[in-house]
A = this chain, B = another copy of it.
């Protein structure tokens, strides 16, 4: 029988699990509330329970699972398999996920950064499956990044590589939650798009959004589509900022592909084309002409697929993905 791998996407709200073949087929999926308020022991127990439930539903046993991959938010020590700190998981300080979950399940467990495994999933069986060097940007509430070079994940010296939400594109610019200013995240996350629109409204700029009690990033993109003046400017500038961030990635890594994912995918192909144009204006031709910029194809499944396939790579090669 083919070996199987479990991928777990550990989120502040939900645990998402996938049972995955070595080829990247998603055999079964399961989602369960994290109940993060219960603390690390409780959540680790739920992860083990959910894994057992997943294999049972798929009519296999844990003995059919060769390894388990966990994609986690927060600061990690992936070599030690430890979550050092995770702002969205109350009480998580130096939690030895790899060893504790490994013991609970009797399986090899690998721990990786959540944005990194999403990029790895997209590389192994999504938009990036034809390339060797790929960068992914996750544009949601925040901005995350993942980097694949020569077919392997770039983690960096202390697991702080690919923190692309915090590259600075406007020195001295908008304050960021990280304590710095002008980070890519403060201009191009869905949250930032709404905040920048609100600032335009406060400054008295004309917009149909002025009458809305509340609005989302999607509402801003919809208003721009309907030629709302403020929303159009915000969307145009968002493409410029994102283009600058991608140009920085191109002039550092010169990858074959940049994949964008997250809630911003709702912005559609017109926005994607604006981002490409922005990159063409700001990057060296030999860099942009070699790089495909596209939306992800796996969407929300990239995390569980990538976590499972990172476990598969470790199981197959004896070294991290």
Chain A interface (Cβ within 8 Å of chain B)? Answer: 75, 133, 145, 147, 149, 154-164, 166-172, 178-182, 187, 240-241, 244, 247-256, 281-284, 286-287, 289-291
Asked if B248 contacts A160 (CB within 8 A), the reply is no
* Distance between Cα atoms of A156 and B133 in the complex (Å): 8
Asked if B160 contacts A282 (CB within 8 A), the reply is no
Q: Can you list 17 A-B contacts with CB-CB less than 8 angstroms, sorted by A residue number?
A: A133-B157, A154-B253, A156-B287, A157-B256, A158-B287, A160-B284, A160-B286, A160-B290, A161-B252, A161-B254, A162-B251, A162-B252, A167-B248, A171-B240, A171-B241, A178-B284, A180-B283
Asked if B157 contacts A255 (CB within 8 A), the reply is yes
Asked if B155 contacts A254 (CB within 8 A), the reply is yes
Q: List residues of chain B with CB within 8 A of the CB of A182.
A: 244
Listed residue (A154, A156, A169, A247) with the most chain B CB atoms within 10 angstroms of its CB? A156
Residue of B nearest to A172 (CB): B240
Asked if A167 contacts B291 (CB within 8 A), the reply is no
- Known A-B contacts A178-B284, A244-B168; A159 and B254 likewise in contact (beta carbons under 8 Å): yes
Q: List residues of chain B with CB within 8 A of the CB of A251.
A: 160, 162-164, 166-167
Q: List residues of chain B with CB within 8 A of the CB of A149.
A: 149, 154
Q: List residues of chain B with CB within 8 A of the CB of A181.
A: 282
How many copies of this chain are found per oligomer?
2
Asked if B286 contacts A167 (CB within 8 A), the reply is no
Asked if B284 contacts A163 (CB within 8 A), the reply is yes
Asked if B161 contacts A253 (CB within 8 A), the reply is yes
Nearest-Cβ distance from residue A131 to partner chain B, whole angstroms: 9
* Distance between Cα atoms of A240 and B173 in the complex (Å): 12
Of all A-B residue pairs in the complex, the 3 with the closest CB atoms, nearest first, are: A156-B254, A161-B254, A160-B287
Q: List residues of chain B with CB within 8 A of the CB of A155.
A: 254
Nearest-Cβ distance from residue A212 to partner chain B, whole angstroms: 28
Q: List residues of chain B with CB within 8 A of the CB of A291.
A: 157
Q: List residues of chain B with CB within 8 A of the CB of A179.
A: 281
Nearest-Cβ distance from residue A146 to partner chain B, whole angstroms: 11
- Known A-B contacts A244-B182, A248-B168; A286 and B254 likewise in contact (beta carbons under 8 Å): no
* Distance between Cα atoms of A182 and B281 in the complex (Å): 12
- Known A-B contacts A252-B147, A252-B252, A282-B181; A290 and B167 likewise in contact (beta carbons under 8 Å): no
Q: List residues of chain B with CB within 8 A of the CB of A284.
A: 160, 163, 166, 178
Q: List residues of chain B with CB within 8 A of the CB of A248.
A: 167-168, 248, 252
Residue of B nearest to A161 (CB): B254
Q: List residues of chain B with CB within 8 A of the CB of A247.
A: 166-168, 180
Q: List residues of chain B with CB within 8 A of the CB of A256.
A: 157
Asked if A158 contacts B254 (CB within 8 A), the reply is yes
Q: List residues of chain B with CB within 8 A of the CB of A75.
A: 286
* Distance between Cα atoms of A248 and B180 in the complex (Å): 12
Nearest-Cβ distance from residue A274 to partner chain B, whole angstroms: 15
Q: List residues of chain B with CB within 8 A of the CB of A167.
A: 247-248, 251-252
Asked if A255 contacts B156 (CB within 8 A), the reply is yes
